[in-house]
Amino acid sequence: MLSAFRRAEYEPNIVAEVDGLALLMDFVRTGIGATIQPGAALARPENVILTSVPVAEKYATRPNMLASISDDELSPAGLAARVVLADVARQLVQEGRWPGARLREPRPSQKVKTS
């Protein structure tokens, strides 16, 4: 994100680094500052009072991955949970219900078996 600011010739005024989304959003709601977060950070009911502006910078991305131990080490419940998480994430993105998210095909070394 800092490189995106530099390309735009802006210097962010970082006043705090907060470890925890709930506390960070509390700070934003009380006017202590602003934050750059994925759209899902606004999903909680208490955040409806916030105003959001899309970040339109093609290099400002935040890849997320679903990771787990190998299939043969996972319990049946763990394997089922991973499959459901992947399916739900894919469905939310495809239906446009995950703001700002898009799917990327993993490289062959990152492929996850889902069945």
Helix %, strand %, coil % of the chain (to 5):
45, 0, 55
- The pLDDT score that the predictor gives to residue 65 is 84
Tell me the C-alpha distance between 104 and 60, whole Å: 15
- The pLDDT score that the predictor gives to residue 25 is 93
Tell me the C-alpha distance between 115 and 35, whole Å: 38
Cα 98–chain centre separation: 9
- The pLDDT score that the predictor gives to residue 114 is 54
Model pTM score? 0.56
- The pLDDT score that the predictor gives to residue 59 is 73
Residue stretches of the chain with pLDDT short of 70: 107-115
Residue/partner pairs of 47-55 with CB below 8 Å, 24 or more apart:
50/25, 54/100, 55/4
- The pLDDT score that the predictor gives to residue 3 is 83
